[in-house]
Amino acid sequence: MILLIFFFLIILIIFPHTVSESVGITLIMCIKSIIPSLFPFSVISDLFLTLISNRTNYIIKKISPLFNISPVSFKIFLLSFFCGYPIGGKMVLNLYENRKITEKEKDKLIIFANNAGPGFIISVLGGVLFQNAKIGIIIYISHILASISFGILVSFLPVKTTESVFNKEEKTDFLNALSLSIKNSTASMINICGVICFFSCVITLIDLIPFINTFKYKGIIFSFFEMTNAVKYISMSSLSLRLKVSLSAFCVTFGGFCVFMQLKTYSDKIKTASYFLGKLLCGIFAFIYCYYLI
């Protein structure tokens, strides 16, 4: 590991301008796209978890057993499809830290209730990278179906939920909760943007390696680090459109180390092996769904 870090340090010294330019572009993306899209959802989701009571919708109570999760967990699962990375995972970890869900429920929920948002997939991936919003919609549908499939698949695992914690409703001052949510979300945005910039730097350094730079399928390699740059390289490759879109669905659903490290800024109570195995399976599901939908 030390040799690898030393190797990247040498490349960083040799190509400082290239790396700094890449980080600069990523920072602009954070300011223009990531913070405006994530910050409001981060505040609202944090507020939601602070003020949530035992009142749960009748339909949600009926559907949540399908995934073998508590009604409040099912609400987070639904919200995750609109909030985007890593807000769903953040809400799951907050529930666990506040002892509102068990460790086993947290371990499986953090995999299929941490999803990319429609704005990013449809607008950025579809509209910008593929120049076709319909492609973004197909990727988003595949992404949703993959998470639902994984959720149902792991529902057979024995999990003890903790719905009883909601039997006693706790009163929380709204203004204090809002102030705390804004404070937490501001700190979260700094951490998230820092992680994204770091992995953008890593991908730039890897791309400078001669045999990687000319590799036809380097987008697939980059998908294990950061999904946005991975999809960018995949969209520019000479692969068939069907394969490019399907691989993009895999990248978005898998998330890569970048999304994982964003979650780690909230809590270290994440089981690395089970998380990546679960996300890998979700990514495969998304690839299959997208391949037949495109």
Residue 199, token pair as written in the block: 């992995």
- pLDDT at 105 (0 to 100): 92
- pLDDT at 161 (0 to 100): 56
- pLDDT at 159 (0 to 100): 60
Query: What is d(CA 186, CA 182) in angstroms, rounded to the nearest whole number?
Result: 6
- pLDDT at 165 (0 to 100): 46
- Identity of the amino acid at 44: I
Residue of 289, 238, 234, 278 whose CA lies nearest to 255: 278
- Identity of the amino acid at 192: I
- pLDDT at 167 (0 to 100): 44
Tokens 């391949």 correspond to 291
* CA dist list (Å): 110 to 71, 219, 275: 15, 25, 8
- pLDDT at 172 (0 to 100): 63
Query: What is d(CA 115, CA 106) in angstroms, rounded to the nearest whole number?
Result: 15
Angle between helices 272-293 and 241-254 (to 10 degrees): 150
Residue of 96, 91, 87 whose CA lies nearest to 161: 96
Strands (E), the chain: none
Tokens 């949600």 correspond to 60
Query: In order along the chain (294 residues), what is the average pLDDT of each group of 10 residues?
Result: 78 84 87 81 76 61 85 88 87 90 93 90 86 94 97 80 49 80 85 85 83 76 88 89 96 94 90 96 98 94
Query: What is d(CA 35, CA 17) in angstroms, rounded to the nearest whole number?
Result: 25
On whether the CB atoms of residues 200 and 28 are closer than 8 A, the answer is no
pTM score, two decimals? 0.83
- pLDDT at 151 (0 to 100): 95
